[in-house]
A = this chain, B = another copy of it.
Amino acid sequence: MRRLRLLTSGESHGPGLSGILEGLPAGLRVSTPLVDRDLRRRQHGYGSGKRMQIERDRVRWTAGIRYGRTLGSPVGFAVDNRDWKNWTDRMSIEPIPADRRPKPITRARPGHIDLAGALKYDTDDVRDVLERASARSTTPRVVAGALARQLLATCGVRIWSFVDQLGPIRAFPDADDILSAIPRGWLKRDAAEPSPLRCPDPEAERAMLAEVDAAKEAGDSIGGSFVVVVEGTPIGLGSSSEWDTRLDGLLAGATMAIPGVKGVEIGLGFGSVERRGSTVHDGMVDEGGRWARRG
């Protein structure tokens, strides 16, 4: 059973991005600054393009909230594109005279949707497809995620994330190390959040920043990976009832649908390939009436 439905719309250089999130309960207190903070997190990565610096996204609620609380009706929202005034010809919604119409884009970039999209939608102008298949299309997902995060916070669930690897630089020797550091409190949200790369290890971060600079210098880009931490999850979310109700599958599906993501792991992930089962599976023990992980 999925409680929430989300549709999003918007081209990268159109008037803006928007979304409708249906299914939130009534009476949820919504903090707009917390949503804007998440939008800022999406934009300001170290080394991000100029576009990111121009935009400074802010959510504009259009429906479903009154006096700071959800009404139970669908929440509508928009994030306006600040640069829209410079794109009204190139992205005009209504037909425009041929002489005002810019030249179509006919060169397909590697590693992008350009070629496949132009063939799929049968267009001579690659802009028709690249505008939607853009990293910017995640903007409304961030807003919806920020709302979901506020809902989960009322149940004591806290979600945060950090960068654990960038190019060849790892902040942690392996997944094990991360998995044991978090519950022991050796690794905290506060260590990661202020960093320009959201890397919780200052030494690794310095090396990562150098790596980014070097790639930039070379006119290139560089890969990376991040960890999402969910704390306070109640037991029993998701269900093994049906193939499409399993929490692992839903999370992996949503994550892999972020442009640029090429791999998803849960827990040890591929780290469990080399292991024997006895070293992978957690035993649970009853610690005076409270379930805890063994050892």
User: Which residues does A use to contact B, with CB under 8 Å?
Assistant: 1-3, 5-11, 14-20, 22-23, 26-27, 32, 61-68, 71-76, 78, 91-96, 101, 108, 110-113, 115-117, 119-123, 127-129, 131-133, 137, 141, 165-168, 215, 218, 220-225, 235-236, 239-246, 248-257, 259, 261-270, 272-278, 280-284, 291, 294
Task: Please indicate the chain B residues that have their CB under 8 angstroms from the CB of A93 in the complex.
Answer: 61, 65-68
Closest chain-B Cβ to A191's Cβ sits at a distance in Å of 21
The 4 closest A-B pairs by CB, nearest first: A253-B253, A111-B281, A249-B257, A120-B236
Choose one: B22, B244, B263; the contact of A269 (CB below 8 Å). Answer: B263
Given the known A-B contacts A66-B128, A129-B71, A256-B248, are A20 and B26 also in contact in the complex, defined by CB atoms under 8 Å?
no
Q: CB distance A246 to B257 under 8 Å?
A: yes
6 further A-B contacts with Cβ under 8 Å, apart from A26-B122, A27-B122, A72-B129, are A9-B75, A17-B63, A111-B277, A120-B239, A249-B256, A251-B256
In the complex, the answer to whether B276 meets A26 with C-beta atoms within 8 Å is no
The reply to whether A22 and B242 form a contact with Cβ atoms under 8 Å apart is: yes
Is A72 touching B257 in the complex (CB atoms < 8 A)? no
Complex Cα distance A139/B131, Å?
28
CB pair B111 A8 closer than 8 Å = no
CA distance A51 to B132 in the complex (A): 37
Which of these, B165, B280, B291, contacts A273 with CB under 8 Å? Answer: B165
Least Cβ–Cβ distance between A260 and chain B, in angstroms: 9
A9 in contact with B3 (CB, 8 Å) = no
A215 to B274, CA, bound (A): 12
State whether A71 touches B257 (Cβ < 8 A).
Answer: no
Q: A243-B141, A262-B265, A262-B270 are in contact. Are A220 and B27 (CB under 8 A)?
A: no
CB of B67 within 8 A of CB of A9, answer: no
Please tell me if the beta carbons of B10 and A22 are within 8 angstroms of each other in the complex. Answer: no
Contact B18 A239 (CB under 8 A): no
Task: Provide the residues of chain B in CB contact with A6, threshold 8 Å.
Answer: 7, 243
Q: Which residues on B sit within 8 Å (CB–CB) of A101?
A: 67
Chain B residues, CB < 8 A from A112? 281
Contact A221–B268 (Cβ < 8 Å): no
The winner among A15, A75, A270 for most chain B CB atoms within 10 A is A270
- Shortest distance from the beta carbon of A178 to any chain B beta carbon, whole Å: 14
Measured CA separation A212–B156 after assembly (Å): 43
How many Å from the CB of A89 to the closest CB on chain B? 10
Let me know if A9 and B73 touch, CB within 8 A: yes
**Which of A1, A20, A111, A245: most chain B Cβ within 10 A?**
A20
Chain B residues with Cβ below 8 Å from A236 are: 116-117, 119-120
Of the candidates B26, B68, B254, B294, the one whose C-beta lies within 8 Å of that of A249 is B254
